[in-house]
Structure 1
Amino acid sequence: MAKWKIDPTHSEVQFKVKHLMITTVTGYFKEFDVEAETEGDDFSSVSKIEFSADINSISTNNDQRDTHLKSADFFDAEQFGTLTFTGNKYEQDGDDYKLHGDLTLRGVTRPLTLDVDFGGIVVDPYGQTKAGFTVKGKISRKDFNLTWNAVTEAGQVVVSDDIRILCEIQLVKQG
């Protein structure tokens, strides 16, 4: 069995949401962790994938918006400080992969399937074995009790329901 941990300097976790239904705002978590266990030295058989993100590390490059996102209107970081995803099945789907698991956000747990592009495994110049992944998915924020909304005078919704997830993940095999 091999254990893998996140390489935080070569990884990022983003989310994208429509604002006023005309532009997309990108946010990300600055503090997150991923741990994985594989039966062998590759990802053909994965026995564990666990992800967590610190809600207080959320950033959209706007302090006022970040404060609002951390408030009870959205993530309620004071009461629900961590977002988690526990993978329970990783399977090949043609040239790509699917990661099935449970996402817990704001105290609500729902099943989630993510699309995974496996970039491969290489040994870096320092002798570390690394694996790379691009992970994509979409959730309905309302499924997780993220229901705050406002409507403009013209009837436009301020924040879309769909949240797109995009992660670039690099894992390091542990010695």
Structure 2
Amino acid sequence: MEKTNKWVIDPTHSEVSFKVKHMMISRVTGHFEEFEATIDTENDKFENASLSVEIGIGSINTKNKDRDAHLMSEDFFKADEYPKMAFTSKSFTDDKIIGDLTIRDVTKEVTLDVDFNGIAVDPYGQTKAGFEISGKINRKDFNLTWSAVTEAGNVVVSDQVKMVIDAQFIKQ
């Protein structure tokens, strides 16, 4: 069936974040400030929708400029060579999105959990849809392989990264 509805992410009501364990005793949260996303749907139920996302690596913000610079370096995202990460869905249901995630030069299929929060019309007459999306990846699967161990034997950065996306889309 033809996709007849187009939805575009509302960046002022959306957030793309990640959490990773630091020294195995606490979590560091980071955000990407620049992102674009669209959903093409057959109807307002979002079954079989097509989701496409691009995230600007240079917009990373962990509240620490030195850490952000390290994350953009060759040790992690290699942002000079790979300025964007991308996600393209293959399957979209009420509770799961399966698709290809590309970070650096690696593309792998990932499954993300979805909570569809519904559709509402705002005071300006715009139709909006809200989602909470989450999932986990192993950063080393995407060549983000930098690692260090403290003198006490604690790993500085966990391999597992939790992604948390709160997204509001505007129907076009």
Tell me if TM exceeds 0.5: yes
**Unaligned stretches of 5+ residues in structure 2:** none
Q: Equivalent of 1:31, from 29, 34, 42?
A: 34
Question: Is 1:14 aligned to residue 17 of structure 2?
Answer: yes
2:116 alignment counterpart: 118
1:163 alignment counterpart: 161
- CA–CA separation in structure 1 for the residues paired with 2:20 and 2:77: 14
Conserved 8 A contact 2:6-2:39: yes
1:85 alignment counterpart: 87
Conserved 8 A contact 1:26-1:60: yes
Q: Equivalent of 2:106, from 98, 105, 108?
A: 108
Conserved 8 A contact 1:42-1:121: no
- CA–CA separation in structure 2 for the residues paired with 1:136 and 1:164: 7
Determine what percentage of the aligned residue pairs are the same residue.
Answer: 56
Q: CA deviation at 1:44?
A: 3.0
What amino acid is the match of 2:121?
V
Conserved 8 A contact 2:46-2:93: no
- CA–CA separation in structure 2 for the residues paired with 1:72 and 1:164: 21
Map 1:139-150 to 2 at 5 A. 139-150=137-148
**Unaligned stretches of 5+ residues in structure 1:** none
- CA–CA separation in structure 1 for the residues paired with 2:131 and 2:47: 14
Task: Report SS of the residue matched to 2:151.
Answer: coil
1:69 alignment counterpart: 71
| TM score, norm. by length of structure 2 | 0.96
RMSD: 0.8
Q: CA deviation at 1:42?
A: 3.3
Question: Is 1:44 aligned to residue 42 of structure 2?
Answer: no
What amino acid is the match of 2:88?
T
1:53 alignment counterpart: 55
- CA–CA separation in structure 1 for the residues paired with 2:136 and 2:48: 25
Task: Report SS of the residue matched to 2:90.
Answer: strand
Count of aligned positions: 169
Task: Report SS of the residue matched to 2:68.
Answer: helix
- CA–CA separation in structure 2 for the residues paired with 1:91 and 1:125: 28
The runs of at least 4 aligned residues of structure 1 exceeding 4 Å deviation read: none
Task: Report SS of the residue matched to 1:146.
Answer: coil
Conserved 8 A contact 2:48-2:91: no
